[in-house]
Amino acid sequence: MTQDKFINVREVLQQNSYTTTVDELRNRGKSRVRVINAEQISSLIEEAVNRVVATSSGMGRDDVKKLVERSREEFKRLLAEREKELSEHRERVQQLDQSRENLAKTTAEAERLRIVEMELRRQNEAMSSQLTELRVAAKTGKGLAEVDLAEMERLRKNEAAAQKERESLQAQVAELRRAEAEMRRAETEARKEKEALLQQIKELTREVHELAAGKKAEPAPAAVSPEMVEVLRSLASEVASVKAGLKEVASRPAETAGADKAVTDRMEEITKALTDKMEKIGKKVGVSAGAEDQEVVLDNIFAGQEALESNIQDVEVKERKGTGISGAIERIKSLRNKKGEKKS
Amino acid sequence: MSDRDRRLPGLHAGAADSRTREGESDEGGSIDRMSHAKGGSSPNNGAEAMLGKGLDIGTANIVASVQSEDGEITFRLERNAFLDIQGDVYSKSMLTKLQVPYVVQGDRLVVIGEAAFELANIFARETRRPMKDGLISPSEVDALPMIRLIIEKCLGKPRQQGESVFFCVPAESVDKDNNVVYHRGLFEGMLRKMTYTPHTIVEGHAVVFGELAEKDFTGIGLSFGGGMVNVCVAYKTIPALTFSVARGGDWIDKNVAEVLGIPKSRATMIKERGVNLASPKGREEEAINIYYRNLISYVLQNIKNRFEADIRNMPSFPEPVDIVCAGGTSMVGGFVDVFKDEFAKIKFPIPVSNIRMASEPLNAVAKGCLIAAAISE
């Protein structure tokens, strides 16, 4: 039962005592010593403790045994608990070791990646350096890396601007088409008026020709619009005047050539009068023959120019021979002749 | 092939072999001694040289045309540009030795013509241009003496007092208010001062005269110039539709220069050194290709719109017609291919049988002017 004791008295005694010789004792003046067995001391202490516990708590021997038993149970429970904790602790340590191992692996991977990154950075710097060289080369006319980007940007901007311009132009075109349609309507009306007038001219001309040939012609019925009444009245008086002139000419057969000229002159006068009248009507309906371009004379710009000192007269100008143009001229003449034949 | 390569070296007016023809007046020294006048040795049995000259006053180039008594046509060409440089004795001496044409203007030397263009490229500068968008430039007021010298040099003196000169003028522009009246009056005055009798012909019409003889002068003549593109739809010599757009070679150069960040003169040089639009190489040529396509498409669309807007007054062509492209801007490689590409994209209102380049693109307008002069004589 010694192992169940809380205190190993023997061991305690052994630890707190020392071994000596008889001579040493004698030297210290000890001639007689009392000797006690360690087993007995242990037994005495145990007995003493039991007695103290029994007297101090009022418990009997059985109670003490029960107490010891409970204490032992408690001890076992505590021991199991501690063992469990220890086991958990060991498990945690194991997990920690695993984590540490993982951490080591991660650190190694991180280090490896850092090295890779450094390598990539180095390569990137090398590429940047090459790009810079290319840009410099482009600026000096050896390459076009930078120009390409500028060109793309420029084209993109141009495209956007062109789109806006296109839209604006489309709007303008639509507006112009509307205006054009209105103009066409006005033009159609004017053309009808013009055709009516031309018909009148044709009939009057025919009448004049008949008169010139000595024939009697009935005046053509005038299918005219109300606006032209005034004009026709005026024309009628012109025609009457022509008739009178022609009769006069006809009464002088010896002067045929002169008569022809008189007819021609009169025709010209009529034509001029008709043109004037047509222009007048044209203005009323918003159509005009249009003003003739007046000649612009800018000769005076060169009047005050003094001769400049130059060597140009001593310098040759580039010169080359070409194919002839006689074929082209002949063809134009031929076309003109064909047109002339058709007219006649 | 560049413009320079296309041009042949030749004689200048007043060369040593020139001589006064019999019966010609030399009053005031204004009669040109034509280098082609060869007296009785001409193949047409001593027939006199046909009077009348043609003159293409273009934004980029000035071309004069003249026919000799043996029926030979001579074109004289100069670039319509100048460049002013610091005037000192050394520069003047160098320019004289190198036969570079210059004019002294105050304390500066003004280099004119092709040399100005070359110098501008060497020194990365921009040339000054007497004309812009097909008309005399309002911003270059000092340019009149220069352009007059260039015209005098190309045209020479009249072979007879009051000899006719037909010069081209742009047609009414669809996209710009162009003052043709002042332009025309100015050059008429200039030519009268040179004792010529000036007449005008619309540029696109001149192309029809110069290039569509075999089709009885029926078809569509296009002049792709430096400042603008002139259009003429003609039926048997008679123009049914004429107009111009204020875009041309300069418009392409300007835009290419902007996107590439280079001077305009350099863009012109790249364009003229031998680009092929059918197979552009590199970004510069790609940019040129883009703007060429845009220009051609713009011109075709405008023809379509104008024709359809006035369809009742347009001739109905009994047979498909030819489209002929002239002008310095059309001389780039692959132009007709790109033109055909763009043509295929739109529904063109006129039946077309053939799209082709002019036989002499740079001279076609001057040639047409000469034909106009010949038939008027």
A192-233, pLDDT tens digit by residue? 776 776 676 667 666 656 655 554 333 333 333 444 445 555
B-chain residues within 8 Å CB-CB of A332? 213, 217, 237, 371, 375
Q: Which range among A261-275, B37-51, B363-377 has the greatest average pLDDT? A: B363-377
Strand order, beta sheet including B163-169? A318-322, B73-79, B61-67, B53-57, B163-169, B196-202
pLDDT band of B221, cuts 50, 70, 90? very high
Q: Does B233 touch chain A (CB under 8 A)?
A: no
At B107, give phi and psi (nearest 5°). -95, 15
* B286-345 residues touching A, CB cutoff 8 A: 287, 290, 309
Does the beta-carbon distance from B73 to A325 stay under 8 Å? yes
Amino acid at A287: V
Q: Tell me, what's the pLDDT at A262?
A: 56
Q: What average pLDDT does this structure show over A84-102?
A: 85
Burial class (CB in 10 A: 0-12, 13-18, 19+), B90: exposed
Q: Tell me, what's the pLDDT at B328?
A: 92
Does the beta-carbon distance from B153 to A317 stay under 8 Å? yes
Best probe of the B interface among A152, A172, A298, A305, by most B CBs < 10 A, is A298
> How large a percentage of chain B has pLDDT more than 70?
87
Q: Which residues of A touch B (CB under 8 A)?
A: 144, 147-148, 150-151, 154-155, 180, 293, 295-302, 305, 308-329, 331-333, 335
pLDDT band of A134, cuts 50, 70, 90? low
Q: Are A311 and B102 in contact (CB under 8 A)?
A: yes
Q: Tell me, what's the pLDDT at A325?
A: 86
**C-alpha–C-alpha distance, residues A228 and A189, integer Å:** 14
A253 vs A329: which has the higher pLDDT: A329
Closest Cα to residue B15, out of B153, B119, B116? Answer: B153
Angle at B332 between CA B329 and CA B335, to 5 degrees: 95
B-chain residues within 8 Å CB-CB of A152? none
B-chain residues within 8 Å CB-CB of A180? 309
Q: Tell me, what's the pLDDT at A215?
A: 43
Does the beta-carbon distance from B371 to A328 stay under 8 Å? yes
Report the phi/psi class of residue B274: left, alpha or beta, with left for phi > 0 and alpha for psi in -120 to 50: left
DSSP for B14-36? T-TT--PPTT---GGG-S---TT
**C-alpha–C-alpha distance, residues A302 and A295, integer Å:** 17
ipTM of this model?
Answer: 0.70
Best probe of the A interface among B286, B371, B377, by most A CBs < 10 A, is B371
Q: Does B174 touch chain A (CB under 8 A)?
A: no
Q: Does B12 touch chain A (CB under 8 A)?
A: yes
Q: Are A268 and A238 in contact (CB under 8 A)?
A: no
Q: What average pLDDT does this structure show over A49-77?
A: 74
pLDDT of residue B179 exceeding 80, the answer is no
Residue with tokens 């696109």: B204
pLDDT of residue B322 exceeding 60, the answer is yes
Taking the CA of residue A223 as centre, how many other CA atoms within 13 Å lie in the half-sphere pointing to its CB?
8
**C-alpha–C-alpha distance, residues A3 and A54, integer Å:** 22
Whole-number average pLDDT of chain B? 83
pLDDT band of A286, cuts 50, 70, 90? very low
pLDDT band of A152, cuts 50, 70, 90? low
* B252-281 residues touching A, CB cutoff 8 A: 258-261
B340 vs A136: which has the higher pLDDT: B340
Does the beta-carbon distance from A323 to B360 stay under 8 Å? yes
Does the beta-carbon distance from A311 to B96 stay under 8 Å? yes
Q: What average pLDDT does this structure show over B328-346?
A: 93
Distance from CA of A178 to the nearest CA of B (A): 12
pLDDT band of A112, cuts 50, 70, 90? confident
Residue B102 forms beta bridges with which residues? B111
Q: Does B163 touch chain A (CB under 8 A)?
A: no
In order of A145, A271, B89, B225, the CA distances from B257 in angstroms are: 16, 60, 35, 18
Q: Are B85 and B111 in contact (CB under 8 A)?
A: yes
Does the beta-carbon distance from A296 to B371 stay under 8 Å? no
Distance from CA of B99 to the nearest CA of A (A): 6
Does the beta-carbon distance from B371 to A317 stay under 8 Å? no
Alpha carbon distance, N-terminus to C-terminus of chain B: 37
Whole-number average pLDDT of chain A? 68
Q: Does B360 touch chain A (CB under 8 A)?
A: yes
Q: How far, rounded to the nearest angstrom, does the alpha carbon of residue B297 sit from its chain's CA centroid?
A: 22
B-chain residues within 8 Å CB-CB of A316? 9-12, 99
**Lowest mean pLDDT: which of A150-154, B35-39, B113-117, B330-334?**
B35-39
Chain A CA closest to residue B368: A325
Nearest to A329 among B7, B360, B375 (CB): B375
Does the beta-carbon distance from A312 to B153 stay under 8 Å? yes
For B194-213, the pLDDT digits (tens) are 999 999 999 999 999 999 99
Q: Does B192 touch chain A (CB under 8 A)?
A: yes
Distance from CA of A100 to the nearest CA of B (A): 60
Does the beta-carbon distance from A309 to B103 stay under 8 Å? yes
Q: In three state form, how does the secondary structure of B171-240 look?
A: CCECCCCCCHHHHHHHHHHHHHHCCEEEEEEEHHHHHHHHHCHHHCCCEEEEEECCCCEEEEEEECCEEE
Q: What average pLDDT does this structure show over B54-71?
A: 92
Amino acid at A144: L
pLDDT of residue B74 exceeding 60, the answer is yes
Does the beta-carbon distance from A329 to B367 stay under 8 Å? no
H helices within chain B, ranges in order? 3-6, 89-97, 114-122, 144-155, 180-193, 203-211, 249-260, 264-272, 282-309, 335-344, 364-376
Nearest to B374 among A302, A317, A325 (CB): A325
At B60, give phi and psi (nearest 5°). -100, -40
- The sign one gets for the Cα dihedral A87, A90, A91, A92 is positive
Does the beta-carbon distance from B181 to A308 stay under 8 Å? no
Q: What average pLDDT does this structure show over B41-46?
A: 35
Q: Which range among A72-76, B22-26, B164-168 has the greatest average pLDDT? A: B164-168
